[in-house]
């Protein structure tokens, strides 16, 4: 059984804003340190045969300028690549285009800190309704999958779908949502508004009624 609280506490979350040519964007950052050396982490994040073991099946060309597609999820174009330290890509779902950057930092004892930044134009109405957890929970489950991968307990996409229906998954989602609410409050959002948005996001992910 997973120690859900430990997994949630292992991640660090922050929110900020950035001005882009198209206007103001919201920046969501999540990071976590893993017991894996830099080269192994880079391979896990860029090898099309390994990525499905902890995230989603992926197709396309995982090289600079190449287009990729995650099965049933986003796709995009690889815009920057600096092996084994970082890569950046567009993150496209339907008509929505945002940007991701993954940065890998070697730390003590052969470990590596994984840091993901997601930059998106989000209108105030949608942000008020769901807050950062709408995106943050999904990324957090990805980091959880990466943790299991390095522990040798990775699961298939089919097993992941089954896990989503378990009580353990509901606890993970709920605690992740609460952590993103705290990050939202720390970034300056009114507490009542942040908690209301977090409640709606938790309900959307778990299928449970909003409290």
For 108-204, strand residue ranges (E) read 112-120
Helix 133-150 × helix 167-186 angle, to 10° = 120
Domain architecture of the chain: domains with CATH: 4-206 (3.30.530.20)
Pair 155, 142: CB distance under 8 Å: no
In this prediction, residue 1 carries a pLDDT of 62
| pLDDT above 90: residue 179 | yes
Report d(CA 1, CA 19) in Å as an integer.
43
Report d(CA 130, CA 124) in Å as an integer.
10
pLDDT tens per residue, range 3-54: 899 999 999 999 999 988 877 899 999 999 999 999 999 999 999 999 998 9
């Amino acid at each position: 059984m997973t120690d859900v609280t430990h997994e949630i506490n292992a991640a660090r979350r922050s929110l900020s804003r950035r001005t882009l040519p198209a206007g103001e964007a919201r920046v969501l950052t999540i990071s976590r340190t893993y017991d894996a050396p830099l080269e192994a982490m880079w391979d896990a994040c860029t090898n099309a045969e390994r990525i499905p073991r902890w995230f989603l099946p992926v197709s396309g060309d995982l090289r600079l300028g190449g287009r990729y597609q995650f099965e049933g999820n986003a796709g995009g174009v690889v815009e920057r690549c600096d092996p084994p330290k970082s890569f950046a890509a567009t993150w496209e779902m339907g008509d929505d285009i945002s940007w991701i950057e993954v940065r890998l930092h070697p730390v003590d004892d052969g470990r590596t800190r994984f840091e993901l930044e997601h930059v998106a134009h989000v209108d105030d109405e949608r942000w008020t309704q769901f807050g950062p957890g709408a995106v943050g929970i999904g990324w957090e489950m990805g980091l959880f999958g990466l943790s299991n991968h390095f522990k040798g307990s990775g699961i298939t996409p089919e097993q992941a779908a089954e896990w989503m229906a378990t009580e353990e998954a509901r606890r993970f989602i709920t605690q992740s949502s609460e952590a993103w609410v705290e990050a939202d409050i720390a970034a300056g959002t009114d507490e009542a508004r942040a908690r209301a948005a977090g409640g709606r996001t938790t309900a959307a992910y778990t299928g449970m009624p909003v409290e």
